Amino acid sequence: MFCLSKHPEYVQRIQAEVDEVVGDGKPTFENLKSLAFTMRVINESMRLYPQPPVLIRRALEEDELAGYHIPKGSDFFISVWNLHRSPKYWDKPEEFNPDRFPISESVPNEVTQDYAYLPFGAGRRKCIGDQFALFESVIILAMLFRRFDFKMDKNAPAVGMTTGATIHTSDGLYMNVSPRSMPELMKKADEADRPALKIPQEAVKVA
């Protein structure tokens, strides 16, 4: 939401994709394959704000890495945050650009990006729920933008960031939410499918 609030052109592309793929129906597992741009938005968001920002691994054997002696039992702290924002591996790394992952290519992961992209870790200790998390995120984002428009609240405090096991906002993310102006046919189907929602007039904390 934070990244998209700065790029309304990407929001329009998500909404156009959802309208075309899902239309006035309910999302299905098969729809996921066609929500390619929405998936890339999630992928790029995880590049800029990886969860978690740091991975820890332990040397099971004595080894040597780039000329450094690694004693058995040494702990490695891998900064995914720095890796994902390194100009050595990414063009304009601080820029939010979902198109850096073309929809004509495979969904990015640690293998396709030569281990410069580790939102879920890698190897045998990789997050076991990575695919479920991706599918869930795509469906949630698609359905939210299908029905609503989101804008940053102008009176809200600046969005701060803090880290621990994960990255999150320090004081929340406040946005103004309004019903989206959908094509009339889709609007009728959407209203028939779900009860009417009361949209608060004040800013809503979304994160």
Phi and psi at residue 155, to the nearest 5°: -95, 0
Q: Is 127 among the annotated ligand-binding positions?
A: yes
In 45-202, where do the E strands start and end? 54-58, 63-65, 68-70, 75-79, 148-152, 161-163, 167-169, 174-179
Cβ distance 206 to 173 under 8 Å?
Answer: yes
Q: How far apart are the first and last CA of the chain?
A: 9
On the 0-12 / 13-18 / 19+ scale of CB atoms within 10 A, 46 is buried
As given in the structure block, the two tokens for residue 13 are: 């592309």
Q: Mark residue 123 as left, alpha or beta (left: phi above 0; alpha: psi -120 to 50; beta: remaining).
A: left
Helix (H, G, I), strand (E, B) or coil at 2: helix
Cβ distance 27 to 142 under 8 Å?
Answer: yes
Q: Which residues are known binding-site members?
A: 127
Q: Which residues are known binding-site members for heme?
A: 127
